Structure 1
Amino acid sequence: MSAPFARLLSATAPLSAPLAALDAPALWANADDLVRRAAGVPIRVASKSVRVRSVIERTLARPGFAGVMSYSLAESCWLVDQGVTDDVLLAYPTVDRAGLLLLTERSIEGERRRAAITLMIDSTQALDVIDTVAGISHPVLRVCLDVDASLRPGVLGVHPIHLGVRRSPVHSAKQAGALARAVSAHAGFDLVGVMFYDAQVAGLPDTSPAVRMVKRISSTELAHRRGDVVRAVSQHADLEIVNAGGTGSLEVTGADPAITELTAGSGLFTPTLFDGYDAFEAHPSAYFVLDVVRRPAKDVATCFAGGYTASGPAQANRMPTPVWPEGLTLLGTEGVGEVQTPVKGKAARGLRIGDRVVFRHAKAGEMCERFDAVTLVDDAGRAETVPTYRGEGKNFG
Structure 2
Amino acid sequence: MTAQATDGREGRTSRAFDRARYDRATAHLQAPLAIVDLEGFDANADDLVRRAGGKPIRVVSKSVRCRTLLERVLAHEGFAGMMAFTLPEALWLLRAGARDVLVAYPSADRVAYADLAADPELAAAVTVMVDDPAHLELIDASRDGGTQEIRICLELDTSLRLLGGRLRFGALRSPLHEPAQLVDIAQSVARRPGFRLVGVMAYEAHIAGVGDAVPRRVLHSGAVRAMQHIARKELARRRAAVVRAVRTVAPDLEFVNGGGTGSVQHTAAEDAVTEIAAGSGLYQPHLFDTYTSYQGRPAALFAQPVVHRPGPGVATVLGGGYPASGAPGRDRLPVPYLPAGLRYAPQEGPGEVQTPLLGSAADELLLGDRVWFRHAKAGELCERFDILHLVEGDRVTASAPTYRGEGRTFL
* Same fold by TM-score greater than 0.5: yes
SS of 2:185 mapped into structure 1: helix
* Residue 325 (structure 1) shift: 1.1
Whether 1:284 aligns to 2:298 is yes
Counterparts of 2:123 and 2:334 in 1: how far apart (Å)? 39
CA-to-aligned-CA distance 1:264-299 (integer Å, 9 cap, x gap): 000000001101211111311010000000111211
* Residue 332 (structure 1) shift: 1.7
Q: 1:142 aligns with which of 147, 151, 157?
A: 151
CA-to-aligned-CA distance 1:102-145 (integer Å, 9 cap, x gap): 2112xxxx211111100000000011111111148632100100
Q: How does 1:362-381 map to 2 (within 5 A)?
A: 362-381=376-395
Counterparts of 1:314 and 1:382 in 2: how far apart (Å)? 35
Report the residue type matching 1:68 in the other structure: M
Q: 1:168 aligns with which of 170, 174, 185?
A: 174
8 Å contact kept, 1:131–1:138:
no
| Other-structure match for 2:100 | 87
* Residue 380 (structure 1) shift: 4.8
Counterparts of 1:128 and 1:136 in 2: how far apart (Å)? 14
| Other-structure match for 1:274 | 288
CA-to-aligned-CA distance 1:341-363 (integer Å, 9 cap, x gap): 11111111121111110000000
Q: 2:123 aligns with which of 100, 114, 118?
A: 114
8 Å contact kept, 2:117–2:146:
no
Counterparts of 1:44 and 1:236 in 2: how far apart (Å)? 25
8 Å contact kept, 2:170–2:205:
yes
8 Å contact kept, 1:12–1:383:
no
* Residue 379 (structure 1) shift: 2.2
| Other-structure match for 2:207 | 201
8 Å contact kept, 1:68–1:88:
yes
* Residue 315 (structure 1) shift: 0.2
Counterparts of 1:136 and 1:197 in 2: how far apart (Å)? 34
Report the residue type matching 2:161 in the other structure: R
What are the ranges of 5 or more consecutive residues in structure 2 without an aligned counterpart? 1-14, 214-220
The number of residue pairs the alignment matches comes to: 389
| Other-structure match for 1:360 | 374
For normalisation by structure 1, the TM-score amounts to 0.96
| Other-structure match for 2:112 | 99
Q: 1:297 aligns with which of 305, 311, 325?
A: 311
CA-to-aligned-CA distance 1:181-207 (integer Å, 9 cap, x gap): 111111211111000000111011112
| Other-structure match for 2:87 | 73
* Residue 3 (structure 1) shift: 2.4
8 Å contact kept, 1:153–1:162:
yes
Whether 1:45 aligns to 2:54 is no
SS of 2:162 mapped into structure 1: coil
Counterparts of 1:195 and 1:134 in 2: how far apart (Å)? 24
SS of 1:152 mapped into structure 2: strand
SS of 1:9 mapped into structure 2: helix
Counterparts of 2:38 and 2:77 in 1: how far apart (Å)? 17
Report the residue type matching 1:126 in the other structure: H
Poorly superposed stretches of 4+, deviation over 4 Å = none
SS of 1:348 mapped into structure 2: helix
Which deviates more, 49-58 or 300-309? 300-309
| Other-structure match for 1:384 | 398
Counterparts of 2:399 and 2:374 in 1: how far apart (Å)? 19
SS of 1:51 mapped into structure 2: coil
Counterparts of 2:62 and 2:386 in 1: how far apart (Å)? 16
Whether 1:133 aligns to 2:142 is yes
Counterparts of 1:29 and 1:71 in 2: how far apart (Å)? 25
Q: 1:342 aligns with which of 344, 356, 363?
A: 356
Counterparts of 2:126 and 2:241 in 1: how far apart (Å)? 26
8 Å contact kept, 2:198–2:253:
yes
CA-to-aligned-CA distance 1:68-105 (integer Å, 9 cap, x gap): 0000111100111010x211000000011221122112
Distance 1:137 1:51, change over 3 A: closer
SS of 1:353 mapped into structure 2: coil
Counterparts of 2:106 and 2:66 in 1: how far apart (Å)? 23
- Measured on the aligned residues, the alpha-carbon RMSD in Å equals 1.1
| Other-structure match for 2:41 | 27
Q: How does 1:237-248 map to 2 (within 5 A)?
A: 237=250, 238-248=252-262
| Other-structure match for 1:213 | 226
Which deviates more, 330-339 or 86-95? 330-339
8 Å contact kept, 2:388–2:400:
yes
Counterparts of 1:137 and 1:372 in 2: how far apart (Å)? 35
Which deviates more, 249-258 or 8-17? 8-17
8 Å contact kept, 1:376–1:384:
yes
Q: 2:192 aligns with which of 186, 189, 193?
A: 186
For normalisation by structure 2, the TM-score amounts to 0.93
SS of 1:190 mapped into structure 2: strand
Counterparts of 2:398 and 2:67 in 1: how far apart (Å)? 14
8 Å contact kept, 1:136–1:188:
no
8 Å contact kept, 2:49–2:78:
yes
8 Å contact kept, 2:207–2:232:
yes
Counterparts of 1:332 and 1:189 in 2: how far apart (Å)? 54
